[in-house]
Structure 1
């Protein structure tokens, strides 16, 4: 018997041919054609169309074509009925129907992406559904780890990973000390100039090797290097001061540790995307 459906199968149009060949007609011929040619080719070949609108073997309500085949041929194998919601969930994007549905969709989509030939796709799909049927028949209550030793090792590994994660979350004491030190420099305008802050200076203050501090800094400070973090604080402070009309741009440049207004403007525009004066005008306009 010849069965015909749309080309580029993924879920239902692989599951149904598997069901046909394994439980209905072992010698079945499956033909894939463009969607708009299915009915005409079916008539020409004397084939039975499936999984296309307006034919007997198709979707009904929330059921997919695989479900209809089970009902039509009164297939009562429990494994097939275990597979049915998996196929339906994958085919209709309702993965809540079965926890395996998302996995079936992922594998099927990847297979269709890798194989452009529909016959080759069906051949590989037959292997996948044979495996799914074996799981549904013999293995659905088994876990990946079975022996007490394996389970114990899994528990030990899970505990170890949890402790490692917790350890990574601990904040070293020098981080808080460094935050305070940097913030004091920002607040008192001692970022630039002779009394300014440098990686070497803060390393000595928190008693850490400069190389180590440089390497670890980004881990605890928003993935920014020491220099980037200092620049961010300077610009953040500048944005706050721009909201206060009493301060000129020259004042703000000085208060944020820049050597001159020109330098301040260049850095501000690079970070924010607009000049300080344009930013101030836009902010004031937003308040009107």
Structure 2
């Protein structure tokens, strides 16, 4: 088994499409498909449901996906420990810890813009859930965290010892697969509709806090019925594209889907949640390159 196969499965889970996932892995679609098949043969079970679009991971695929992420994280931590013990850590590499919902679309564009102004610099990206990102910052394994903040949830704003900068804007939109006429299959603008299928963030996911006031009212009034739950925006996006229900997702994540007509907005502006994207740092232990980046960003505000 090759470790890259696990990263391939990650790309397929995020995109729900073999062609787009192959591009992320810098492979031809045929080569990418062979690697996914090789992983399935190694596991001894089918991992992907190829019978519909977008493709879905089967339960065995979800299990291998999460096991692979944990394994990669463990190996990264062990490598860093060894390098630090040998005194070969590159102190100029800036590490960003980013939740999946920000890392998929917003972060690459933001980093490119930062390098256009600041100049190119060595960096690494750690994509994980927000609690693990915070743990990485506290343990000195990351220099910065990117996180959402809204009127409904302060994100990391209440954590002592952290400083923040406002680096972007986003919003959570209720989205649905469109009907042939372009209107949403499921809509929250129709007052008579009840039990609209809802693709929900796990209640422990930080993103759920940004939505709580809106969805609580809708759920209590019988407008929403939970049909699927996941902590990852990418997984909810795949289900929404497949027509399984309504999901609230970051505009930055679904902008290409909205432009292509694969998803449409399924609720008025009153059901949308504006969010700030914040960059956080731990004042203690900040490395030279990270301090320079922070100072540069401050000067641009």
TM-score bucket of the superposed structures, by smaller chain:
under 0.3
Structure number with higher strand proportion: 2
TM-score (norm 2): 0.19
Structure number with higher helix proportion: 1
